[in-house]
Structure 1
Amino acid sequence: MIDELILVRHGKAEDRGRTINDNHRTLTDQGIKEFQQILPGLVSLIGTGQEVRLWSSPLKRAVQTAAMISDSLGIGTVHEFKFIGDGNWKAFSRQVAGQRLPGCLIVIGHQPYLSEWSASLTGLYLPFKKGSAAGFRLKTHSPLQGDLLWFLQPKAFRRLDSKSAEILPPLLQS
């Protein structure tokens, strides 16, 4: 069963407009650049030696963000689920509960759903900016509940270096 859950909000995307369908909005060049700066910090917080799975909303900007994470971690498959794009908590929690192998699940999604999901998990409504992420240790799978391990906004990720990342995991284990 999944032990650790990481929720990630996609990078900066094209503005909403009448000419672009929301499902097809892509990351901007600046959004790609900024998320690439975040990646080393995010990757440093993912435990080593465990199975890592990557799930994404099917919306283009989330899929692009998931691809960057996948490339950084060497994960070949990104699974896309409509319930992530729609923010369907019941479908999401059922799918997580159905996972039989231990490990870490990284989910790339959208606002306000990520904040709502963090509130359902822990009681804490976290303000996910674009490029933010939160790590949780799951306590129960039915209902899906967990403890917040860490929550970082993009600026904090960019400041996270290898030395501070080495300090954080032992602190989180206690």
Structure 2
Amino acid sequence: MELLVIRHAKAEDHGHPGGDGARALVAKGFEQAAKVGRLLKRVNRRPDVVLTSPLVRSRQTAEALCEAAEMPGPVVQGWLACGMDPEAAIRELVAFSDFERVAIVGHEPDLSSLIEWLLGCSGSSVEVKKASITGLLVHPPAWHARLLFHIPPSLIGD
């Protein structure tokens, strides 16, 4: 399975009156998410399914990405919320292992921890920037991975 790991795009600052989960994307974030979707479409890497955290900023990122990539909307998954444990994420991803390409949209430091776990490295060796894409070739059932690519938001064009 190819796993596309995407961090949510730029959102409102911390301290939102509705709490962290209610923080929405700002205008720049919507554009970042759309650029990710257009890139995935342009390079023929649209996922078979997009899974997203239930938090507003991740849902909005996934929705904008899907719309720009001209694909079905995302599927909300509670396990992608803040505080995701890599081993728990793997247990949940098993249900999607029949798909050729799966995208997950979530949060830091959870996504970095998942990538490190899959690659067998540790010690803060990975940092996932907002609206970046990391592609991994994941091999179930052992759930080890090979890095295919990492595209920071600064390199994602229109």
Query: Which of 36, 50, 53 does residue 54 from structure 1 map onto?
Result: 50
Structure 1 equivalent of residue 132 of structure 2: 132
CA contact (8 A) 2:5 2:105 kept: yes
CA distance in structure 2 between the partners assigned to 1:45 and 1:78 by the alignment: 20
Higher helix share: 1
- Mapping for residues 89-168 of structure 1, pairs under 5 Å: 89-99=86-96, 101-124=98-121, 125-139=125-139, 141-158=140-157
Measure, in 2, the Cα distance between the counterparts of 1:46 and 1:118.
23
Any idea what the Cα deviations from partners look like across 1:40-59, whole Å, max 9, x if unmatched?
A: 223334537xx611100000
Q: Quote the offset at 1:75 in angstroms.
A: 3.0
Gaps of 5+ in 1: 162-174
Corresponding position of 1:172: none
Gapped runs of 5+ residues in structure 2? none
Distance 1:5 1:100, change over 3 A: closer
Task: Report the AA paired with residue 114 of structure 1.
Answer: L
Residue pair 1:14, 1:25 contacting (<8 A) in 2 also: yes
CA distance in 1 between counterparts of 2:35 and 2:72 reads: 21
Aligned to 1:165: none
Query: What's the TM-score once normalised by structure 2's chain length?
Result: 0.86
Contact map agreement 1:97 1:144 (CA 8 A) in 2:
no
Displaced runs of 4+ in structure 1, greater than 4 A? none
| CA 40–73 in structure 1, closer or farther in 2 if over 3 Å, else same | closer
* Alignment-derived partner of residue 72 in structure 2: 76
Contact 2:51 2:103 in 1 (8 A): yes
| TM-score (norm: length of structure 1) | 0.79
Please report the RMSD computed on the Cα atoms of aligned residues, expressed in angstroms. 2.1
